[in-house]
Amino acid sequence: MKPFKFFLLTDTHYFAPKLGCYGEEYKKFMQFEQKCFAETSAINKAAFKWLETAKEADAVLIAGDLSFNGEKESHLEFIELLRSLKKAGKKIYVITAGHDFNDKVFAFNDTGRLEFPGTKREELFDLYYEFGFSDAISVHKDSLSYVAQLSDGIRLLALNNDGDNANKHTYTASQTEWILKQTKKAREDGQMMFVMNHYPLLPGCPLFSLVGDAVMPNADKITSMLADEGVHLSFTGHMHNQSIKMKLSSEGNRFWDVCTGSLIGCPAYMRLVEIQDKSTVKIESIPVPEFDWDMQGLTNEEYFRRQFDMMINTYLDCLSEDPKRLLGKFGMKDPNPALIKICTVIGNALNNATIGSLCAKLFVKCDEAIKDRPVRDFMLEIVRNVFVGNAPYVAGTPEYEAFMGILDRFSPLLSLLGNAVKINGKKADIRDILKNCIGHYGVDEYNTTITLE
C-alpha cells in the first residue's frame, strides 16, 4: 500500500442563518452553549473554502453532527457546501449522528424561540447518498453505515451508532454482525481498515467514563472486538474535545481513538492524517481558518474560548445566584430546598476563595506563585483544558502539588465515591481520574505519530 492522506473534521453543526439566530431568548440560550450558533455558516464556509484549495490531501472525512440540530434547511445548505468541495476535486465521506435528525427543531428571533418540524432519520440516507454511500463497497442501510475503499490497501469502516430504541447510541445486533463480516473481509483481502464513528470509543479523559453519553455504551467490549479483529484506529467526535487515547485488549492488541474538537467551538480544529503504512499513522492538527465575522478585535482562538468561558462562568454564577436554574439544566425541575441551599453555600465559597486561602484552611502547602489565584478561575481553566487537551498541570508543577494536596485531604470521601462508582465493572479511582483532568500523560493530542501494532 502507498501512504494515504485525508482531512478529518467533525461536529460541523451547520445552521442556516435565515431560520433565525438572534434576539433576547437567543442570548439566554447561548449562555449555556459551548458551540457558536449564529456564526456556524461563516465558520463552515471559511473551512470549506480552505479545504477546496488545500493540496495536502484529496479526501475529506466528516464524523457526524453535520447540522446544528436537524433542521432541513441547514442540511440543504450544508450539502451545497459539500458539493462545492466535491467539484473542487475532493472525495467526501460523511456519517450522520444524533444532531442530524429531530422531530422538532428550533430557532430564535425577536419574538422568542421558534419551533418547527425537523428532519426524519430515514431521510438522511438519500440526503447524503453522494457523500460515501454511492461509492461504498458495502452498505448497512438500517444503521446508515458503510465501507469505502479509500485507496489501494486502505478501507474506511464508517459507522453510525444511533442504534435503535432498545440500544441507543450503540450498534444493533445486525449491524455488529455486518461489522464482523467487513473486518474479516478486510483481513482476507489484505486491507488496512480503520473506523469513523461519531461517539468516542475511548473516553477523552478518565472523567468522561462517568459522564452520560461522553463515550459509547459497551465501548470497552466494542474496542476489544475491533482491535482483535485487526482494526486498531478510530476517528470520533461528539464531545467537542481534542484527545488521542489508546488501550490494549486482553489479547494485547492496540486500539486508538482520535477525537477531534468541533469545527464551531473551542477547541476548533481539523486534522490532517497520513496513513504511512499498516502500522504507522501521522496526525497533525489544523486550526479553523479566519472567518467572515465581527471578531471584536479577538483572534479565532480567543473568540471560541470566550464562548466556552461564558458557558462555564454561567454555570458557576448560577451555583450561587440561581441554583434552581442550574439544577434544571441537569433535569431537576423541582429540586429540594436543602440542595439549593448547599449549592448557594458552595457557590459563595468558590467566589471568595483563592488557592492560597483554600490550601491554608486544609493545611496544604501552596507555592507563592499561585496563592493569590482565585479558585474559581482555576476551576474554569481545568474544565477548559479537559476539552482543549494536553492539560499542563503534571507532577512537579505548583498547580498539581496544591490540587493533589487538597484531594488527599478528602481521601476517605474519594474512596467512598470510588466504591459507589464502577468503570468497566471495576471500582473507580477518583483520585487518579481527577489527576488526569489537570495533567496529560499520553501522546501529544494535536501532533503525533502513533503505532497501531
Kind of pairing between the strands at 4-9 and 59-63:
parallel
Alpha carbon distance 75, 128 (integer Å): 9
Q: Please report the pLDDT score of residue 213 as a whole number.
A: 84
Query: Binning pLDDT at 50, 70 and 90, where does residue 20 land?
Result: very high
Sequence-distant (6+) residues with CB within 8 A of 164 are 172
Reported as type and span, the H/E element at residue 117 is strand 112-117
* pLDDT higher than 80, residue 249: yes
Alpha carbon distance 281, 233 (integer Å): 9
- Tens digits of residue pLDDT in 69-81: 999 999 999 999 9
* pLDDT higher than 80, residue 167: no
Top-confidence residue, 329 or 365 = 365
Q: Please report the pLDDT score of residue 85 as a whole number.
A: 98
Q: What is the rounded average pLDDT of the residues 109-135? A: 96
The answer to whether 171 touches 135, Cβ cutoff 8 Å, is no
Read off the DSSP letter of residue 202: S
Alpha carbon distance 387, 241 (integer Å): 4
Q: What is the rounded average pLDDT of the residues 53-80? A: 98
Query: Binning pLDDT at 50, 70 and 90, where does residue 166 land?
Result: low
CATH code matching the domain that covers 4-289, chosen among 3.60.21.10, 3.30.470.20, 3.40.50.10860, 3.40.50.360? 3.60.21.10
- The grid coordinates of residue 192 equal 488496512
* pLDDT higher than 80, residue 164: no
Ranges of H-type helices in 106-233: 124-127, 173-188, 219-228
- Tens digits of residue pLDDT in 258-296: 999 999 999 999 999 999 999 999 999 999 999 999 999
Q: Please report the pLDDT score of residue 401 as a whole number.
A: 97
8 φ, ψ (degrees, to nearest 5): -125, 125
Q: Which residues pair with 244 in a beta bridge?
A: 258
Sequence-distant (6+) residues with CB within 8 A of 416 are none
* pLDDT higher than 90, residue 217: no
Contacts 24+ apart (CB under 8 A), 17-23: 17/41, 18/73, 19/71, 19/73, 19/74, 19/107, 19/114, 20/107, 20/108, 20/109, 20/114, 21/107, 21/108, 22/108, 22/109, 22/110, 23/108, 23/109, 23/110, 23/111, 23/112
Using a pLDDT cut of 90, give the percent of the chain over it. Answer: 87
Q: What is the rounded average pLDDT of the residues 244-259? A: 98
Query: Binning pLDDT at 50, 70 and 90, where does residue 170 land?
Result: confident
Using a pLDDT cut of 70, give the percent of the chain over it. Answer: 99
Q: Please report the pLDDT score of residue 82 as a whole number.
A: 98
Domain ranges of the chain: 4-289, 300-438
- Tens digits of residue pLDDT in 363-373: 999 999 999 99
- Tens digits of residue pLDDT in 394-436: 999 999 999 999 999 999 988 888 888 888 778 889 999 999 9
Q: What is the mean pLDDT of the chain?
A: 95
